[in-house]
Structure 1
């Protein structure tokens, strides 16, 4: 039965379960007494919901604390082993697949390197499929507890009703690739296990906002600085973040040709691929046959050698120019969105690290309007190179919590008859 606001009893129960699960997950362990003010629920509702969640194996006891003159209060937490998620990072140099428990503790991992021609759709789909099979074969894997698979990819992800998630990855040569449908067609997973596919910058942003340097901020931009650059915008109106194709902002009319085909994009000056290309053009010598990560390490070593050794002036000049382009690009984000924090992640951003950051901050302040520039903090992300994978795994976890911690009902004969489901929903809790 629906109330005046259109919510049914089932909706209310789901909302109450979600509230308790989220508070225990982010702020726990907590006692039943603390859960009341933390969730806004009555003590009776808290007791009913907790009993329900304990019965489902989602919540467990985690010790006790003394109360003021009364009996010790039992602490509760989300049971880490009650669910598992897979996170996939389709990166520029490798496909990384990781299995996590509900506390996002890594249980298994596998990586498959990509060649420069490695963005063939069939290759990527095969890497993801084989990686999922490998981590689910690990000793700690419990396939029956799998909540879903999250995948972070380059490009714009369109969610369609008929083909699922479709990827428009212009820089990698993908045009309307129905990735979700392709994965489902070759997947060993049952249909009840969902896929969640989104832009890699958004999954990075999700991870940093939940567990990293963005926690507590209401308005932030998380930058993914790898072979190219992208960003995730988080505001009160876009709580879970929105990927923005910041790397394809025009910073120079008739400038360098970007991977997307347009001239003058920020990515053509600030991405690691273009940074290394400019070093080569100016006479730099990356190690022969090295991948981008190794070549960038060599460039940094040349520009910032040990004390007493002269730096490579070409490498240093290219890095300084890149810092200015990146700072100018950040100034646009500052002027447009006025964030509290800008966080720089991605493998290249983390490699450049603290040595590079002061110059980026200086240039961002120079190009931005003074008022929003005075209010923003620009820092590195805290979650390291696995942040995209962690963020991808958060996608099924967030969906699980939003559904009140209910797994999808099995199809076919195992589903309860409609009359029994209706009676169960009417039963008092």
Structure 2
């Protein structure tokens, strides 16, 4: 039965389970007594929900603490082995696949290098399917135990009713690729295990906001700086973040041609691919036959040699120009969205790191409006190179929490009669 606000008893029970699970997940271990104020639920509701979650194997005891003059209070935590997720990062140089337990402890990983940045759809889909099979086999885990596989990809992800997640990746030559349907067609995963696909910058942002440098911020922008650049905007209205194609903001009219085909995009000046190309065009000598990560390491060593050696003036000049372009791009984010924090992640951002950051920060402040610039901090992300993969695994985890810790049920083969739908709505959950 639905109440005045349209919520059923089942909705209320699911919301209560979600509230308790999330508090235990982020703040646990906690006692039943502490869960009341933390969730806003009555002591009776907390006891009922905890009993359900313990019976489902999602929550377990984690020791006890002394109370003020009474019996010790039992602590509760989310059971790590009660669920498993896969996170996939379709990156610029490799596809990384990781298996996690419910507390996001890594259990297994696999990597598939991308030779010469090959983005053929079937190649990528094959890497994902094979990598999932490999990590499951390594951990000895049955596919049925997965909550889902989250996948971070470059490009715009459109969620459709008939074809699932469709990827529009203009910079990698993907035009309306039905990636979810392709993965499902050759998958060894049961139909009850969902593929959840989203933009890689968004999965990076989700990871940093849940576990990294974004914790506690209400308004933040998380920047993915790799071969190209992208960003994720997080606000109270967009709690889980929204990917924005920041790399294709025009920073120079009739400028360099971007890999998307347009002229003057930020990505044509600030991404690692363009950075290395400009070093080469200016007379630099990137090592031949290496991937971008190795070449960028060589460029940094040339610009900032160890032991106070003589820097390569060409490499240094290109890096300084890149810092200004990146700072100017950040100033647009500051002026448009007025965030509390800007976090820079991605393999290139982390590799450039603390040596590069002061110049980026200085340029961002000089180009931005004074009032929002005074209120923002610009810093590096804290989760390292696996942040996109962790964020991808958060996609099925967040979905699991939203359903109150219940797995998806198989779709019925035929429409249920009205009387059976009514009974299911009223059944205890």
Tell me the TM-score normalised to structure 2 length.
Answer: 0.97
Contact 2:144 / 2:193 at 8 angstroms: preserved in 1? no
1:67-119 superposed Cα distances (whole Å, 9 cap, x missing partner): 00000000001101000000000000000000000000000000000022510
Aligned to 2:243: 243
Query: Helix, strand or coil for the counterpart of 2:307?
Result: coil
Confirm or deny that 1:206 pairs with 2:182: no
Contact 1:275 / 1:319 at 8 angstroms: preserved in 2? yes
1:396-428 superposed Cα distances (whole Å, 9 cap, x missing partner): 000000000011124569xx9997886576467
Aligned to 1:125: 125
Contact 2:180 / 2:195 at 8 angstroms: preserved in 1? yes
**Hey, what's the Cα distance between the residues in 2 that align with 1:56 and 1:378?**
43
State the shift of 1:186 in Å. 0.8
Confirm or deny that 1:281 pairs with 2:281: yes
Aligned to 1:188: 188
Aligned to 2:72: 72
Q: Which runs of 5+ in 2 are unaligned?
A: none
Aligned to 2:9: 9
Contact 1:107 / 1:141 at 8 angstroms: preserved in 2? no
1:154-233 to 2 correspondences below 5 Å: 154-233=154-233
**Pair 197,371 (structure 1): closer, same or farther in 2 beyond 3 Å:** same
**Hey, what's the Cα distance between the residues in 2 that align with 1:70 and 1:190?**
49
State the shift of 1:288 in Å. 1.2
Query: Helix, strand or coil for the counterpart of 1:334?
Result: helix
Moved over 3 A (4+): 410-413, 416-429
Confirm or deny that 1:134 pairs with 2:134: yes
Aligned to 1:311: 311
Contact 1:167 / 1:179 at 8 angstroms: preserved in 2? yes
1:5-62 superposed Cα distances (whole Å, 9 cap, x missing partner): 1000100000000000000001100000000011111000000000000000000001
Aligned to 1:331: 331
RMSD after superposition: 1.7
**Pair 427,237 (structure 1): closer, same or farther in 2 beyond 3 Å:** closer
416-425 or 93-102, which deviates more? 416-425
Query: Helix, strand or coil for the counterpart of 2:116?
Result: coil
State the shift of 1:287 in Å. 1.1
Aligned to 1:369: 369
Aligned to 1:47: 47
> How many equivalent residue pairs?
428
**Pair 71,142 (structure 1): closer, same or farther in 2 beyond 3 Å:** farther
385-394 or 307-316, which deviates more? 307-316
Query: Helix, strand or coil for the counterpart of 1:128?
Result: helix
Contact 1:107 / 1:140 at 8 angstroms: preserved in 2? no
Q: Which runs of 5+ in 1 are unaligned?
A: none
Contact 2:284 / 2:314 at 8 angstroms: preserved in 1? yes
Confirm or deny that 1:93 pairs with 2:93: yes
Contact 1:223 / 1:229 at 8 angstroms: preserved in 2? yes
**Hey, what's the Cα distance between the residues in 1 that align with 2:117 and 2:312?**
31
**Hey, what's the Cα distance between the residues in 2 that align with 1:411 and 1:265?**
45
Confirm or deny that 1:109 pairs with 2:109: yes
**Hey, what's the Cα distance between the residues in 2 that align with 1:412 and 1:273?**
49
**Hey, what's the Cα distance between the residues in 2 that align with 1:418 and 1:30?**
41
Tell me the TM-score normalised to structure 1 length.
Answer: 0.97
